[in-house]
Chain A
Amino acid sequence: ETGVTQTPRHLVMGMTNKKSLKCEQHLGHNAMYWYKQSAKKPLELMFVYSLEERVENNSVPSRFSPECPNSSHLFLHLHTLQPEDSALYLCASSQDTGGWGNEQFFGPGTRLTVL
Chain B
Amino acid sequence: SQQGEEDPQALSIQEGENATMNCSYKTSINNLQWYRQNSGRGLVHLILIRSNEREKHSGRLRVTLDTSKKSSSLLITASRAADTASYFCATALIQGAQKLVFGQGTRLTINP
Contact = CB atoms under 8 A, between A and B. Distances in A.
B1 to A, nearest CB: 10
Interface residues on B, range: 20 to 34
A2 to B, nearest CB: 7
Interface of A: 2, 4, 6, 40-43, 45, 48, 50, 55-56, 88, 90, 92, 94, 97-109, 111
Interface in B29-51: 30-31, 33, 35, 40-45, 48, 50
Interface stretch (B14-22, B68-76, B90-98): B90-98
Given A42-B104, A109-B40, A101 B98 contact: yes
Interface of B is mostly: strand
Contact of A100 (B30, B88, B96): B30
Contact of A56 (B33, B35, B43, B99): B99
A27 to B, nearest CB: 12
Given A42-B2, A42-B104, A98 B98 contact: yes
